[in-house]
Amino acid sequence: MLQITQLDAVTQYKMARTVLGRDLYHVAAYFVDGLLIDTGFAYLAEKFYQELKNKHVKRIVNTHHHEDHVGANYLFEQRQGLKAFAHSLARPLIEKPPEKLKLYRDVVWGVPQPAHPEAIGATISTAKHSFGVLHLPGHSHDHIGLYEPQQGWLFSGDLFLSVKVRVLRLDEDVYALMDSLRRVINLPLARLFCGSGKVLDNPGAMLKQKLAFYEELEQRIELLHQKGWEAEKIRDAVLGKEGVWPWMSQGEFSKLNLVKAILKRKA
Ligand SMILES: [Zn+2]
C-alpha cells in the first residue's frame, strides 16, 4: 500500500508491503517544498518513484541508512541524477547495503540497491524553508532529524516510535537515544513527523514521557543490579517475559537487549 496524505504544506507517503491482504510494517516518507525526506523500501521503490517523478523533487535527505528509508534512492540517482544527502556515517552503509538481511527485514522491506549519498551540512534549505540538521544518534549512529524553527516542525526519522518501547535492537544505543531526546525536548515543536507514519501535534509532552520512561527504567534496573540480580531476572521483573519479538527478529529485538544495554554503562 502507498497512502498519500496532505498535512498542510507537507505531503506524507505512507507505505507498507501487503502480504495476503495484510499490511506489514509501515514507514513514511515526507515531501515539502521540493525536499523529499526518506525514500521508502525496496519492494515499493518503483511505485514510490513513479508517484514522485513529476513532483519536482529538488533535494533528498535520508534520516538514516536503514533499508526502509533509502529504498528508492537509486532510482532518483539513476533517472534524475539526484543524489540524497545523509550523515557522513550513513554514506558507506548506503553505498554498500548488506548482502543479506535478517529474514523478517527481508520479508518486510527487502535489500535496497546501492546509492551514493553526499554528506549533509549543518542546514538544508528549500525555497520557503530552512532546516537545521540535528545529529540524533541512538536508533542508529548516523541518525539525523530536520528541524524547521519557523514552523516548529521536526522530521524525526525513527527517534520516537512510541513512548514505551520495551525492546531494543541489538545495534541501538539507549544512552545516545536518551541524549538525543534531551536535545529535542526543549525545542518549541508544533509537529513531529515520524518515520513510522505517526504525526504528533505539540509532541513535547510525549517526548518527555519517552525520556522519563527510559530514565525510570535505568533507575529500577540499576537498583536490581546492585542487589546482584542477573539480567534475565531483571528483565522479567521490570519489563516482563519476552513476547514474539526475539523469535520474529532472530534475536535482533528483545527486552533482554534493552536491559543489557542499560547495564553496559553501569558495569
Ligand atoms: Zn530505522
Q: Is 142 helix (H, G, I), strand (E, B) or coil?
A: coil
Tens digits of residue pLDDT in 164-187: 999 999 999 999 999 999 999 999
Distance CA 214, CA 209 (A): 9
Q: How far, in Å, from the CA of 214 to the mean position of ligand 1?
A: 19
Q: Is 132 helix (H, G, I), strand (E, B) or coil?
A: strand
- The domains found in the chain, sorted by start residue, are 2-204 (3.60.15.10)
Range with top average pLDDT, 5-14, 19-28, 239-248: 5-14
Give the three cell numbers for residue 22: 495484510
Q: How far, in Å, from the CA of 229 to the mean position of ligand 1?
A: 32
CA–CA distances in Å: residue 65 to residues 148, 158, 180, 243: 22, 11, 17, 27
Q: How far, in Å, from the CA of 79 to the mean position of ligand 1?
A: 26
**What percent of the chain clears pLDDT 90, i.e. is strictly above it?**
89
pLDDT at 266 over 80: no
Q: How far, in Å, from the CA of 228 to the mean position of ligand 1?
A: 34
Q: How far, in Å, from the CA of 67 to the mean position of ligand 1?
A: 8
Q: How far, in Å, from the CA of 260 to the mean position of ligand 1?
A: 20
Tens digits of residue pLDDT in 10-64: 999 999 988 888 888 899 999 999 999 999 999 999 999 999 999 999 999 999 9
Distance CA 162, CA 196 (A): 9
pLDDT at 267: 55
Prediction pTM value:
0.96
Q: How far, in Å, from the CA of 180 to the mean position of ligand 1?
A: 15
Surrounding residues of ion ligand 1, Cβ less than 5 A: 66, 158
Q: How far, in Å, from the CA of 63 to the mean position of ligand 1?
A: 8
Q: How far, in Å, from the CA of 34 to the mean position of ligand 1?
A: 23
Give the three cell numbers for residue 64: 538514516
174-185 vs 204-226: helix crossing angle, rounded to 10: 150
171 contact partners, CB below 8 Å, separation of at least 6: 140
